[in-house]
Every structure is written in C-alpha cells, then in structure tokens.
Structure 1
Amino acid sequence: MRAASGFRMETAAMTTPDPNAPWLIVGLGNPGPGYAANRHNVGFMVADLLAERVGGAFKRAPKAQAQVVEGRIGPPGPASRRVVLAKPMSFMNLSGGPVVALRDFYKVPTERIVAIHDELDIDYGTLRLKLGGGDNGHNGLKSMTKAMGPDYHRLRFGIGRPPGRMQVADFVLKDFSGAERKELDYFVDRAADAVEALVTEGLERAQSAYNS
C-alpha cells in the first residue's frame, strides 16, 4: 500500500490515436491467491471475465511485470477493436511501472488506457466511467498517475464504505461478504459490458448506458 517511486511524470499528448493502436485495459489488484477474492481485486475479476470473452488465457507479458491477453472486442469484422488485457503482477501501489512498460511496448496512446478499480465512495456494484481526474486516495491510480499523468480512462467499481470504525485498508483487503457475493457475478459481468461499450462505442455512449 506504499506510494510508487522512481517513475518520470509525463504529460499525455492528446493527439488523434493511431487507428491501429490497441486499447490497454488494466485490471488493478494484488497478485497471489491470498488476495484473489478481496474487494481490492475486483479489477482483476473484471479482467479475467474479459479474457474469457475474447477466448484467451493470461500469460507473462513481454518486458513488463504483468500478465496479458491479446484479443479483439466487439462484433466480428472492421468494427471490432484490438485490445491488450493486463493484470500488473506488482503490488497495487506499484502498478504504474508495469502499465507504462506495457504502454510503451504495445505503443498505446495514454487516452486508450483503461484502469478498472474498486471505489470506496460509491455504493456497491455502482459503476462510473470517466476520463482523467484525481486518484481519490486509491494507491493503484496514484502510482499510474505518477508514472504517466492522469489522462487515462477509469472504470470505477463501487464497493461502498467500511462499516463502523473498520479501517479502509482492512476493508479493501477483505473478501466480499456472503451477501455481496450473491450479486458479485452480475456486477462483474456488467462492468465487463461497460468496458466493451467504452472501447467500441466511445465514452459518452458508455457513460449514458452504465453510469448508474
């Protein structure tokens, strides 16, 4: 949960993207089976579902501490979009390094990067798509922004606030509750739909459909 260090801040050049450049879709989480069902790992859960949809299996990334799946999203033919799905294998607070390495290797414009992450300040299961903005205390976003600037897309997956006096760090590193797990598959599926809509239809139409 420490802040990332050692990465040069860059200001994203908001130029017209290369039409052949892929989208880099990053699920944020912590590696290892002990974290797999944590609230903080919902980004990994959505990335795993997207990998199933494109028919790929995660494998070690070239020149980055991450796992990746390459595929296409959208209807068959020219309307589909090339994507690289990624799960950084650093810890959450060091996500920026692997993401920048993947961005550079695949030559992805910063505005075609999507971070999928848990969000404390919206209700459980609520989704919010946005471009740019602050990190709201999220260490994965903080590391990414320090490494490459803020001008990337985010899919915020609401997990709600911790109950009572529970510390935020304890809350996000606990598994979803039994009651939450009853709806988790539905919400993860909807989040994957939102990412697909963003990539194939654009931010405005995806926000209209999924920002509940």
Structure 2
Amino acid sequence: MFLFVGLGNPTPNSENNRHNIGFKIIDAINSKFKLSKQKPKFKGLLTTGNINEKKVYAIKPLTFMNNSGICIRELIEYFKIQAENIIVFHDDLDIDFGKIKTKFGGSSAGHNGIESIDKFIGKDYSRVRIGIGKPNDKIAVSDYVLKDFDDDEKQQLETLKNNITENLAILIDKKLDLFSSTVNNK
C-alpha cells in the first residue's frame, strides 16, 4: 500500500496559493487515475484506488500545513501503511519554479508541514519537493508562499502536473532520481 500526501491549507482563499501546490498534485493524481470520490476522513480529504496494480491512498490534510503530521499519523496507523511507502508532495522555495527534486528522509529545511510530519511519524518517507521559486522583490517569504500563482505560473503548473502524473509509476517503484530527471526533462 502507498500513501500520497499533498500539503496545503484548506481554506477557500488558499486554493491557488503557492503553498497549496501539494493539494494541486493530489487533485491531478485523483483525476488521472480516477481514484474514489474525496471523503472527509482522518482529518483530511481521502481518496483510494489502484495505480499499477498497487493499492494507493491519497490525502489532503485539513489540519492546516503546520499540523499535517496529525492527519498522516492517524491514517497510517489505521491502514498499517509503512512510512517508506509514503510520498509527500510539497512546495519548496529553494527550487526554481516548475522544477522538482525528490529525496528520502533528511532535513525539513524549515518547512513547517514537513516538520510536523517528521514529529509524528519520523523521517523515513519520500518527498517530492516542487519548486515555487523565491520572491524577486522584498516581499516576506510568508506572504510569498500564501500568494496566488500568476497566469504564467498556472500554465507551467498544468504542464508540471501532467509530467508528474504521467510518470507516477516510476515514483511508486521508488526510483526517485529517475523520476526527478524524467519530470524535469519533459
């Protein structure tokens, strides 16, 4: 069994924020693979189905970014999902917009959603870090991540979502480097 987690904030005015890119990826996975209708469970919106003959769950925590670990822990304890079969999609300021990097374990690099997950389940899970770039002007980082995507970014985001979902089988096979290079070179 695999669990895909998309990080974000559940308020309507957050829907198109850079910080909600993880939610956008989960929506794309749900759509592409025709996972079940989203149901409120485990303090999140949960879907389920099969991808490449593997049982998958996908969730968007409703606990807000800084408390994402609460939702994840409840779900994995209930379904007995191993941490190494968890893949978290989240925004990353240190990566150029539209690029991704993957990693297993490691530091949260100050990302509050990742810090929360680490606190509740440890660090032995995979992450797909999705670049949102850094602010060009003197806008505070907290304001930048909560700002909506502009029109050019929205177009690039559509391409990125397609590239991620088209290559999800590589990620499920835990070939993180191959997944990154394939998605980034499309």
Q: TM-score, normalised by structure 2?
A: 0.93
Query: Are 1:60 and 2:33 counterparts?
Result: no
SS at match of 1:95: helix
Question: Equivalents in 2 of 1:174, 1:60: separation in Å?
Answer: 26
Question: Equivalents in 1 of 2:181, 2:145: separation in Å?
Answer: 28
Query: Are 1:134 and 2:114 counterparts?
Result: no
Given residue 35 of structure 1, which amino acid in structure 2 is its aligned partner? S
Superposed, 1:1-212 pairs within 5 Å as 22-55=1-34, 56-61=36-41, 64-74=42-52, 80-200=53-173, 202-210=175-183
Instruction: Provide the alpha-carbon RMSD of the alignment.
Output: 1.5
Question: Equivalents in 1 of 2:174, 2:146: separation in Å?
Answer: 34
Is the 8 Å Cα contact of residues 65 and 88 (structure 1) preserved in structure 2? Answer: yes
Given residue 89 of structure 1, which amino acid in structure 2 is its aligned partner? L
Percent identity (aligned): 37
Query: Max radius of gyration: which structure?
Result: 1
Q: Cα deviations across residues 132-160 of structure 1 (Å, max 9, x unaligned)?
A: 11111111001001111111100011000
CA separation of 1:158 and 1:72: change in aligned 2, threshold 3 A = same
Is the 8 Å Cα contact of residues 129 and 211 (structure 1) preserved in structure 2? Answer: no
Question: Equivalents in 1 of 2:116, 2:166: separation in Å?
Answer: 26
Shift of 1:180: 1.1
CA separation of 1:185 and 1:211: change in aligned 2, threshold 3 A = closer
Is the 8 Å Cα contact of residues 29 and 91 (structure 1) preserved in structure 2? Answer: yes
Structure 2: give runs of 5+ residues left out of the alignment. none
CA separation of 1:95 and 1:204: change in aligned 2, threshold 3 A = same
Is the 8 Å Cα contact of residues 157 and 191 (structure 1) preserved in structure 2? Answer: no
Report the number of matched residues.
184
Q: TM-score, normalised by structure 1?
A: 0.82
Given residue 131 of structure 1, which amino acid in structure 2 is its aligned partner? F
Structure 1: give runs of 5+ residues left out of the alignment. 1-21, 75-79
Structure holding more helix per residue: 2
Question: Equivalents in 2 of 1:107, 1:83: separation in Å?
Answer: 12
CA separation of 1:33 and 1:83: change in aligned 2, threshold 3 A = same
SS at match of 2:139: coil
CA separation of 1:207 and 1:132: change in aligned 2, threshold 3 A = same
Is the 8 Å Cα contact of residues 128 and 210 (structure 1) preserved in structure 2? Answer: no
